[in-house]
Chain A
């Protein structure tokens, strides 16, 4: 199982380590999410120091997949390099970036 359920099964979180580099893993994770019936996904990148251009592409692909089914992708990130990359590539215009899971969950409640 790539995806963990959160908030009384209202959301899911995925904490990839190196899987973002591997399209197969990403597809598995998305399959898990779709099979759970959830449309809200938190992509936990808090432990990542930086994102490569390929990983940015994957993030955007996930965004597109969720966007296609009316879902929502949010990112958890704190690394300045990650945040800057997200900003430069314009991803922050597409989705919400949280610096902690608690804030992300609060956002759902709200």
Chain B
């Protein structure tokens, strides 16, 4: 029995020691039995465990309660139960344990049998799990991410705090409700997508739509964009049971993207517009295209520049009825789908540019159009207006240039442009001037030195560059060139400063004055010769004058009882008038006055002839008419045709005081008798001398006795051949009246008075013929 008991005891001991959990027996607050796991748990040796009060191993905070419960249980006051408390290990660690204990008798004494379960790790794990869950929940609630769970039909089962705040719903307001009733619109506004159908598609193919971005709706109706990550959850049978969804608010991003899209679209529109304007700019610069070509190009460009080129058409309509229409532009224009701008030229509207859509398009700023498009059309219309004006001006310029080129090419005046010391742009006349044919290039771009005479080159260059620098310099210059034939040509050059190809230049007009210069040189030489001849003639005339004066009496002779006065005034140095006073017979005086037809040297030469003839023919013994007859007989037929002389000759007998006179076609002499009311004309018949060999009218002599105080005046008609300012001639009656008035003046004064009277009558213009007067007075 004892052996069996011992074996049983051993078996129990083996059983306890083999137990994987600590087992203790406590009696009277001491461990009276423990197994190996207990030693492992507490870290004490067996003797230390069994000799030490149990209180030593219990955490002070739990000690009282544990001892009380153990004592109660051992006394049977507590049923079997589990006590949780903390124990202290040898190393000082606190560990949490569950003590499942029950009362029993140990060596017949009340004791507690306890199975210790070290719950430290489990509790720690549970605490960690709780903390993790707390953190997770906190995270879920606090993240700025919408977290929602929904059943397989998208009925809400969870919505995190952020989601509630974001959508404006409380969790209670959404739980159990379908998302289509709450946060998802029936139709997505931006895309027109039917969201009911979209959710159905997700439900049917949950794995296809793990990520999606869609439009959502807040409780306040505001539209928001959310990027969703959807995780379908299946049960073990693969049946979809719920969706776990996380969502990010991408409203701002979508707005930014929308703005970016809009800006990009706008930018693309501006690019199209710029391309349009650029294209238009290129179009108008083309020289190989007509105005109609520009119109066509413009309407193509404007169509492409619109937002919807596929439905854009355009027309250019001019007031004169002309129309340029884009393909299909003949379609009817609906005002609400069109924009237009006037085309103006010189401020006047001449037509308009119309752009229109043939189909409806979304509303813009002006109907379906953007305000920028309206501005583009306006800009294009303005450019067309300017282009039309530019073409008109170009056409006018071309016409003008053509006209000027005709003038330039056909001008007989040499023209060229001088710039930078070179001649360029020569007209045919200039080429010809330089010795080339009109069609040869000549000195195009040639240096001045190529043609300008060496002696003038420095002067020409200096003036040219001064002018280009804007310094003052005369615009007219004469210089020489040497043409291709080596001939020196004199050129008058008139220079007009101007800009040629945006640089200062000189437009030069040249006239070949070589012939004129030669002529001027000839004239100068001729002038010199003429001056010499004139000098000679003057000298010769002076000699002739001296000869004539030598032939004429130097001074009137002084005779008793007689006063003589002579006034001789040839029109030129020498004249055709002649006179003589002959006193070769002491008792008589011969007075001759003659006037050869004409004036000047021929008349003077003839006067010499007549005087010589007179001197040779006269005889104091023959009557005056005989002398006239003799002179005429000698001269007639010897003189040039139409040449003759009138003569008056009188012979005064000093003793008898008788005057005998003969006139040969000569103005009558006057006898001025003091106190008489009338003058006595001394006139005889008789023709001019030297014209007729056999005069039909014979010369005649008459005599008249003179008294003291009588004055006789003989003269040539030069003093009467004067006219006054009215063109009236001085007639004999006026002269006779003057003589009567001045009859008492001494003869010398009388002649001067007569001369002045005639001179005054001519308004001091002088005489047209020689003037000769001789007066005698009987004293």
Output the nearest chain B residue to A59 by Cβ-Cβ distance: B642
* Distance of A20 Cα from B281 Cα, bound (Å): 84
Q: In the complex, are the beta carbons of A84 and B732 less than 8 A apart?
A: yes
Output the nearest chain A residue to B717 by Cβ-Cβ distance: A53
Output the nearest chain A residue to B730 by Cβ-Cβ distance: A81
- Which chain A positions have C-beta within 8 A of B695? 90
Q: In the complex, are the beta carbons of A54 and B687 less than 8 A apart?
A: no
Which residues of A from 54 to 110 have beta carbons under 8 Å from B? Answer: 54, 56-58, 60-61, 64, 80-81, 84, 88-91, 93-94
Q: In the complex, are the beta carbons of B729 and A49 less than 8 A apart?
A: yes
Most A CB contacts (10 A, CB to CB) among B668, B727, B732 go to B732
- Which chain B positions have C-beta within 8 A of A49? 727, 729
Task: Identify which of B686, B691, B727, B729 contacts A60 (C-beta below 8 A).
Answer: B691
CB pairs A–B below 8 angstroms (13 shown): A23-B642, A49-B729, A57-B688, A64-B692, A88-B646, A88-B668, A89-B646, A89-B687, A90-B687, A90-B695, A91-B687, A93-B685, A94-B697
Q: In the complex, are the beta carbons of B598 and A88 less than 8 A apart?
A: no
Output the nearest chain B residue to A65 by Cβ-Cβ distance: B641
- Which chain A positions have C-beta within 8 A of B687? 89-91, 93-94
- Which chain B positions have C-beta within 8 A of A90? 665, 685-688, 695, 697
* Distance of A109 Cα from B341 Cα, bound (Å): 99
Judge if B667 is at the interface, Cβ distance under 8 Å.
yes
3 closest pairs, A vs B, by CB? A90-B687, A57-B642, A89-B665
* Distance of A110 Cα from B598 Cα, bound (Å): 38
Judge if B644 is at the interface, Cβ distance under 8 Å.
yes
Which residues of B from 696 to 728 have beta carbons under 8 Å from A? Answer: 696-697, 717, 721, 727
Judge if A50 is at the interface, Cβ distance under 8 Å.
yes
Interface flags, A30-52, vs B, CB<8A=1, else 0: 00000000000000000001101
Most A CB contacts (10 A, CB to CB) among B595, B695, B697 go to B697
CB distance from A72 to the nearest CB of B (A): 14
Which residues of A from 1 to 46 have beta carbons under 8 Å from B? Answer: 23
- Which chain A positions have C-beta within 8 A of B597? 53-54, 56-57
- Which chain A positions have C-beta within 8 A of B149? none
Task: Identify which of A53, A60, A91 contacts B595 (C-beta below 8 A).
Answer: A53
Judge if B666 is at the interface, Cβ distance under 8 Å.
yes
Q: In the complex, are the beta carbons of B666 and A88 less than 8 A apart?
A: yes
Judge if B200 is at the interface, Cβ distance under 8 Å.
no
With A53-B595, A88-B665 as contacts: A60 and B685 at CB distance below 8 Å: no
Q: In the complex, are the beta carbons of B642 and A61 less than 8 A apart?
A: yes
B contact face: mostly helix, strand, loop, or mixed: loop
Task: Identify which of A58, A80, A81, A94 contacts B642 (C-beta below 8 A).
Answer: A58
Q: In the complex, are the beta carbons of A52 and B644 less than 8 A apart?
A: no
Output the nearest chain B residue to A27 by Cβ-Cβ distance: B641
- Which chain B positions have C-beta within 8 A of A50? 721, 729
- Which chain A positions have C-beta within 8 A of B691? 57, 60-61, 64
* Distance of A25 Cα from B197 Cα, bound (Å): 131
Judge if B272 is at the interface, Cβ distance under 8 Å.
no
Supplied contacts A52-B721, A90-B687, 19 more A-B pairs, CB within 8 Å: A23-B641, A49-B729, A50-B721, A52-B769, A53-B717, A53-B769, A54-B598, A56-B597, A56-B688, A57-B644, A57-B688, A61-B691, A80-B731, A81-B729, A88-B663, A88-B683, A89-B646, A94-B687, A94-B697
- Which chain A positions have C-beta within 8 A of B595? 53
Which residues of B from 644 to 699 have beta carbons under 8 Å from A? Answer: 644, 646, 663, 665-668, 683, 685-688, 691-692, 695-697
- Which chain A positions have C-beta within 8 A of B731? 80-81
Judge if B563 is at the interface, Cβ distance under 8 Å.
no
Q: In the complex, are the beta carbons of B732 and A94 less than 8 A apart?
A: no
* Distance of A91 Cα from B663 Cα, bound (Å): 14
Interface flags, B561-584, vs A, CB<8A=1, else 0: 000000000000000000000000
- Which chain A positions have C-beta within 8 A of B646? 53, 88-89
With A60-B691, A90-B687 as contacts: A54 and B642 at CB distance below 8 Å: yes
Output the nearest chain A residue to B595 by Cβ-Cβ distance: A53
